[in-house]
Structure 1
Amino acid sequence: MSIMFRKLGILIKSIEKNNIREKVRCASTLPQLSSEKYNIKRKQFSNVESTDVNYFKRILGEERVLTEETDVMPYNIDWIKNCRGQSSVVLKPKSTEEVSNILKYCNERRLAVCPQGGNTGLVGGSVPVFDEIIINFTLMNKVISLDEISGALICESGCILENLDNYVRDRNLIMPLDLGAKGTCQIGGNASTNAGGLRLLRYGNLHGSILGIEAVKADGTVIDCLKALKKDNTGYHLKHLFIGSEGTLGVITKVAVHCPALPKAVTLGFFGVENFENILQLYRSAKTSLGEILSAFEMADFEAINTTVKNLKLP
């Protein structure tokens, strides 16, 4: 019996050492805390307490409130691993009502929050700086309706852009927005940052294609501007205040987007030019010849192409 306990003690010590090594290894690869990196001071918000966590678990359930350090860490770090927050709680609502209850409670308790979509941003705006509560919209991913005649799509803010594009393509439509991060980014984040993307030349920034939004203000008030009419001249266009506001005025929970018709053909051309002046001449010529059917015009310089070929092993 004593031999068995001794072996068990050795096993536990071995596991503890491995855990310590793993923590040290992870710590060495983690980005510096944003608050230290940019010398930012925390404002006078309250600290998250166990009573707050218990409240969130009551309205969301245990499984949609993440508090374990290993579970929370991925939500604290941005996509390029340049910024790191110190949040200890991630909330995953499934409805506008739940978002409203969360924000109302946090507002009354003076708890800071950080809304988060697909966390594909490159400037650290999708992760907290201090111990803000992260509200992640991954589970709000339902398509509510699609009018195939007008092209009006209404969906929740957590829908992934590529999934929406695949959904409307099956109905001979396309999303007006295309991004390199389309497999991960969410339409709510796209709207909150007024994304441009690869099809900007043809369809413009996203604000030109958004027909309406639903948003929740900091005090929990739901703003319903979820109209699906392309021509709407009535009243104030409050939706434009929220588009591009990055969550500072309210959290977008639903979006109505105008989806254009799926093109019957796509033509792609590669041109080799000697200098930037020739690029501008080529662009001017393309606009003159193609007009509004020109979707994208992109430049890659010699060094960028060589670097891509070398690092991605492309022929």
Structure 2
Amino acid sequence: MIKSLTLFVRTVRTPNVALVQTRLASQVLPQLSATKYNVKRKEFGSVQADDVNFFKSVLSEEQVLTEESDVLPFNIDWIKNCRGQSKVVLKPKSTKQVSEILAYCNKRQLAVCPQGGNTGLVGGSVPVFDEIVLSLSLMNKIISLDEISGALVCEAGCILETLDNYVKEQNLIMPLDLGAKGSCHIGGNVSTNAGGLRLLRYGNLHGSLMGVEAVKADGTVVDCIRTLKKDNTGYHLKHLFIGSEGTLGIVTKVAVHCPVLPKAVTLGFFGVKDFDSVLKLYKSAKASLGEILSAFEMADNDSISSTVQNLKLPNPIADFPFYVLVETHGSDETHDAEKLSRFLEREMSSGLIIDGTVTSEPAKMQTIWNLRESIAGAGLLDGYVYKYDVSIPAARYYDLVPVLRQRMAGKAVKVYGYGHVGDGNIHINVTVPEYSKEATDMLEPFIFEEVSKLKGSISAEHGVGFRKPHFIHYSKDEGAISLMRELKQLMDPNGILNPYKVLPDP
């Protein structure tokens, strides 16, 4: 039986503490990426004392980190899968400083790894060898906000949640919402073309981003900052940097279109009997809720139970084979309540919804969202987690999970799937007691071959990073890959920007 429906005018989300906790769950250092994945260092220069002195002449002493204990956190990704060997971290405060650093590094052929909040899941934000880490964390100024158009201009190091709280004061909302919003940077979001929880309503960053400022490998600043929804003059250069993961240039500023803050927000969390019911419920939600449907999330039982058991988070409803989370954003509380009530009555009667809870109270919504957003981190407490971020046509969305359970029987602790049904993006997690070459070989390239057969994408929203370049051909043909290489050669001829990432070696 559905628990009482309570409507509230607006909600304010708070940081997901569980993600922060699980980031520090294990104190054991991961194996060096170069050793673990058998990668050969390219012919870049090595940082010398004179180089460090130059960086200190451009930056202050505090902006140049060389102590091993200070540099170590920048060498390790948050899921502790990848570990680099950088000896220097630079923390510029301006585009001018980024430009001077890159111009120097390009002449010296010193490789650079740009880093934002370091919340990535494919190793794209940490070095592989001794690349200089260029942290954008001090470039965190909000430059302007047009209250009429909703155009926000800010530096790349701004934390997503900070921006969301800022624009809410002007009754706007950031179009992007992620589980890591309390620590991820908007520049990193743009550089990976992050998708997030509400792509169904607000679209992806290619549509929301009005402009970028980026610095090329040779220090050239490319200023494409505009706050116009329409600007059809020449090539759309901003799209080169969206999703390029710092391999074509380093994003330093962005202009984002912020939609109006919804006056009425409601969240439903339902238990259903099977995945076929999930798809039927999604079809019904689109037809019944229409323009107010902002998110439609799915998680299987193992996904939710991992957060309940490992992180001691409460589940507001009983155990079910599958769970569905439905969120609505609207401007008329009464209108939205009527639409939602009709949807619930029909699907309870049809049997698609077995049980659930619906609320507009901020604290209750936060509890439910934490349960969903903490899935990624909860599995880390069970062992080593292979994380796959793929998009698959809706009808076949969940097919790979039972296939992998059978394939990994006796090897995996758990295999589970969850994600954004509305855009076909499923996250598949395979937990094993510890990393092994045997488990890796059983999973890769098998899972990418299966995704390719289904006409899906091997990377839906996390990017290609360090983990997937040699699998990119499962989603892109040779013509597309060749064009990408040509763009890389044109914009970064010495290959200093985020090497070993995105594109495979010829």
- Output the amino acid matched with 2:148: I
* 2:252 is the alignment partner of 1:253: yes
| 2:210 match: secondary structure | strand
Q: How much has 1:137 moved relative to structure 2? A: 0.3
Render the CA deviation track for 1:33-52: whole Å, top value 9, x for unaligned. Answer: 00000000000001100000
| 2:39 match: secondary structure | coil
Equivalent residue, structure 2, for 1:283: 282
- Output the amino acid matched with 1:280: L
Render the CA deviation track for 1:193-248: whole Å, top value 9, x for unaligned. Answer: 00000111011221110000000000000001001001222221100011000011
User: What does residue range 1-315 of structure 1 map to in structure 2 within 5 Å?
Assistant: 29-315=28-314
Which of structures 1 and 2 has the larger relative contact order (alpha carbons within 8 angstroms, sep 6+)?
2
Bigger strand share: 2
| CA–CA separation in structure 2 for the residues paired with 1:194 and 1:36 | 29
Render the CA deviation track for 1:88-140: whole Å, top value 9, x for unaligned. Answer: 00000000000000000000000000000000001111000000000000000
Which sections of structure 1, spanning at least 5 residues, go unmatched? 1-27
**TM-score, normalised relative to structure 2:** 0.56
**TM-score, normalised relative to structure 1:** 0.90
RMSD of aligned Cα (Å): 0.9
- Output the amino acid matched with 1:184: S
Structure with higher Rg: it is 1
- Output the amino acid matched with 2:152: L
- Output the amino acid matched with 1:287: K
| CA–CA separation in structure 2 for the residues paired with 1:191 and 1:147 | 20
Equivalent residue, structure 1, for 2:453: none
- Output the amino acid matched with 1:310: Q
Which sections of structure 2, spanning at least 5 residues, go unmatched? 1-26, 315-506
| CA–CA separation in structure 2 for the residues paired with 1:160 and 1:123 | 20
Equivalent residue, structure 2, for 1:7: none
| CA–CA separation in structure 1 for the residues paired with 2:37 and 2:292 | 44
Render the CA deviation track for 1:62-108: whole Å, top value 9, x for unaligned. Answer: 11000000000000000011110000000000000000000000000
Q: How much has 1:302 moved relative to structure 2? A: 1.6
| CA–CA separation in structure 1 for the residues paired with 2:96 and 2:304 | 48
| CA–CA separation in structure 2 for the residues paired with 1:271 and 1:190 | 30
Q: How much has 1:314 moved relative to structure 2? A: 3.0
| CA–CA separation in structure 2 for the residues paired with 1:278 and 1:76 | 44
- Output the amino acid matched with 2:95: T
Q: How much has 1:165 moved relative to structure 2? A: 0.1
